[in-house]
Structure 1
Amino acid sequence: MDFGVVLQNNPPASRVVDLARQAETQGFDYVWTFDSHLLWQEPYVVYSQILAATRKVRVGPMVTNPATRDVTVTASAFATLNEMFGNRTVCGIGRGDSAVRVLNGRPTSLEELRRAVHVIRELASSRAVEHNGATLRFPWSTGSTLEVWVAGYGPKALALAGEVGDGFILQLADPDVTAWTVGAVKEAAERAGRDPDSLEFCVAAPMYIGDGDDPAVRAHMRDQTRWFGGMVGNHVADLVARYGEGSTLPRALTDYIAGRRGYDYNEHGRAGNTHTAFVPDEVVERFCLLGTPTEHVARLRELRELGVTQFAGYLMHDNKEETLRVYGEHVIPAMRATVLAKA
């Protein structure tokens, strides 16, 4: 299993770069950031500095969208970074949430998302593509490669990920929901004539290391990560509105939003979010990874058995450096294959 870290582009940008550098030092393979240009700083500028300050990690958005950025501009940014730093980028993409809704816009259609995946991947992989009635190519790009991973929750988005994505991103770590989504993506890939085992499956959720046996510490960890249930609830509310209460969506995903009363994007993705009281403790525990290293490893092994190939941990809380350190010293080594110098 690979490991990623998900950061917000809060100023100063140097702090984001430093956390990315620490993540690489602790053995993480990927560095992701939010892409919401009004709420936080411009990610592609920060990516350039992260790549310059590191040696191996891959960087990319979790997630961008086809609405706020022209797809050819997005592709150009990736191809440029790859030329500068040697194919160390990855593109996570979805229909759009905070970046779109803060502008009073709406998420794109799945067909628009499908076209975006194709155009971005082809152009950023130094290939020609048909777009807007023309054949386009970056004449300055040679040897660039880019994987495009699709994020989503609903049946149609999962099918799209299986049909065209190089990977799938699920933003929560509940095993039941993970099993349902991974299964749906693999089935869609098989129907499309693709090898489902060739896809990457990334689960992204807050990770917080602490003394899980201390009730006060446990409560603090939940309060620091409760915002995540509110963020996921935005997508779930859309799904319930589209498919109805009696749909095939797993109840582990949908039941908890019954008490949801709106959402303030000014507090999006922030610890201490003041309007996520509707998210119960049980959901926080299911959706996030909290507690001791042993607890984290147990959940990660369960997710790996379900087909997850990467865990990407959100660091939007007050214990960033310690969580990175413990992951590097205890959690990641426990998830690596044991190699003996002498058999």
Structure 2
Amino acid sequence: MEFGVVLQNDPPASRVVDLARQAETHGFDYVWTFDSHLLWQEPFVVFSQILAATRKVVVGPMVTNPATRDWTVLASSFATLNEMYGNRTVCGIGRGDSAVRTLAGKPSNLATLRESIHVIRELANSRAVEHNGRKVQFPWSRGSALEVWVAAYGPLALKLTGEVGDGFILQCADPDVASWMIRTVRDAAEAAGRDPDAIKFCVAAPMYVGDGDSPAARAHMREQCRWFGGMVGNHVADIVAKYGQGSQVPKALTDYIEGRQGYDYNEHGRAGNSHTQFVPDEIVERFCLIGSPREHVEKLQALRDLGVTQFAGYLQHDNKDETLRMYGERVIPAMAEHVVATA
């Protein structure tokens, strides 16, 4: 299993770069950031600094969208970073959430998402593509390589992911939910004539390492991560509005939003926000990774058994540095393949 860290582009950008550098030191493979240009700083500027300060990590947005970003500009940004730093980028993309809703917009439809994935991938892989009625290509790009990973929840979006995605991003670490969604993506890939094993499966969720045996410490960890249930609830609410409560989406994902009363994007993704008290403790425990290193390893092993190839941990809480350190010293080594010098 590979490991990623998900950061917000809060100023100062130097702190984001420092956390990315720490992540690489502690054995993480990917550094992702939010992409919501009103709420946080511009990610592609920060990506260039992260790549310059590190040697191996792959960087990308979790996630960008085809509504607020011009597709050709996105592809050019990825291809430019690849030329500068050696193919160390990945594109996470979805229909759009905070980046579009803060501008009173709506998420893109799936046809637009599908087309944008094709255009971005072809251009950023140094290939020509038909776009707006003409054939276009970057004449300066040689050898750029980019994978496009799709973030999805609903049945039709999962089907699209299986048909066109290089990877699947699930923002929820509940094994029951992950099992259904991974199976849905794999079935769609197989029906489309693709190799399901070629698709990468990334689970993204808050990670907080602390004293899992102390009731007070555990309650604090839950409060620091409760925001995530609210963020996931935005997407779930869209699914329920479209498909209804009796849809094929697991009840583990849909039932908890019954008490949802709205959402303030000014507090999007922030610990201690004022509008996620409807999220019960059980959901925080199921959707996130909190507690001792042992508890993290146990849950990661369960996710790996389901086919998850990367865990990307959100660090939107008050224990960033220590959580990175404990992952580097205890969690990532425990998940690594055991190799001996002699046999």
Q: Give, in angstroms, the shift of residue 248 of structure 1.
A: 1.0
Matching residue of 1:120: 120
In the alignment, the residues of structure 2 paired with residue 200 and residue 38 of structure 1 have an alpha-carbon distance, to the nearest angstrom, of: 30
CA distance in 1, matches of 2:312, 2:246: 31
Q: Distance in 2 between matches of 1:337 and 1:248?
A: 36
* Local SS of the residue matching 1:313: strand
Q: Which amino acid aligns with 2:318?
A: D
What residue in structure 2 maps to residue 38 of structure 1?
Answer: 38
Distance in 2 (alpha carbons) for counterparts of 1:306 and 1:169 = 14
The match for 1:282 is 282
How far apart in 1 are the matches of 2:328 and 2:161?
31
Letter paired with 1:79: A
Number of the residue aligned with 1:256 = 256
Give, in whole Å, the separation in 1 of the partners of 2:24 and 2:245: 43
Match of 1:142 in 2: 142
Q: Any idea what the Cα deviations from partners look like across 1:246-275, whole Å, max 9, x if unmatched? A: 111100000000000000000000000110
Q: Deviations over 1:271-310 (max 9, x none)?
A: 0011000000000000000000000000000000000000
Q: State the match for 1:312 in structure 2.
A: 312
Give the partner amino acid of 2:6.
V
Aligned counterparts, 1:28-67, within 5 A: 28-67=28-67
Deviates more, 1:242-251 or 1:30-39: 242-251
Runs of 4+ in 1 over 4 A off after TM superposition: none
Normalised to the residue count of structure 1, the TM-score between the two structures is 1.00
CA distance in 1, matches of 2:145, 2:208: 33
Written as runs of structure 1 = structure 2, the 5 A alignment for 1:17-96 is: 17-96=17-96
SS of alignment partner, residue 172 of structure 1: coil
CA distance in 1, matches of 2:63, 2:15: 20
SS at match of 1:204: strand
For 1:129, the aligned partner's letter is V
Alignment match, 1:169:
169
- The C-alpha deviation readout for 1:177-217, integer Å capped at 9, x for no partner, is 00000000000000000000001000000000000010000
Counterpart CA distance in 2 for 1:152 and 1:268 is 19
Q: Helix, strand or coil: the match of 1:38?
A: coil
SS at match of 1:226: helix
Distance in 2 of aligned mates of 1:10 and 1:341: 44
Local SS of the residue matching 2:55: coil
CA distance in 1, matches of 2:250, 2:338: 36
Please state how far the C-alpha of 1:245 moved relative to its aligned partner.
Answer: 1.1
Residue deviations 1:37-72, cap 9 Å, x none? 000000000000000000000000000000001100
Give 3-state SS (helix, strand or coil) of 1:18's partner. helix
In the alignment, the residues of structure 1 paired with residue 225 and residue 246 of structure 2 have an alpha-carbon distance, to the nearest angstrom, of: 29
Aligned to 2:296: 296
Q: Which runs of 5+ in 2 are unaligned?
A: none
Q: Alpha-carbon deviations, 1:6-55, whole Å to 9, x = none?
A: 00000000000000000000000000000000000000000000000000
Find the residue that maps to 2:274 and give its secondary structure.
Answer: coil
Aligned length: 343
List per-residue Cα deviations over 1:210-240 (Å, max 9, x = no partner): 0001000000000000000000000000000
Counterpart check, 1:211 vs 2:238: no
Distance in 2, Cα, partners of 1:89 & 1:144: 10
Alignment of structure 1 residues 95-110 onto 2, 5 Å: 95-110=95-110
Q: Measure, in 2, the Cα distance between the counterparts of 1:249 and 1:113.
A: 21
SS of residue paired to 2:150:
strand
In the alignment, the residues of structure 1 paired with residue 71 and residue 295 of structure 2 have an alpha-carbon distance, to the nearest angstrom, of: 41
Distance 2:196 2:248 in 1: 22
| One-letter identity of the residue aligned with 2:82 | N
- Provide, for residues 102-156 of structure 1, a one-character-per-residue CA deviation record: whole Å limited to 9, x for no partner: 0000000000000011000000000000111000000000000000000010000
Equivalent residue, structure 1, for 2:340: 340
Q: Structure 2: how far apart are the matches of 1:342 and 1:282?
A: 45
- Greater mean deviation of Cα atoms: 48-57 or 241-250: 241-250
Percent identity of the aligned residues?
78
- Separation (CA, whole Å) in 2 of partners of 1:214 and 1:274: 25
In the aligned structure 2, how far is the partner of 1:49 from the partner of 1:321? 19
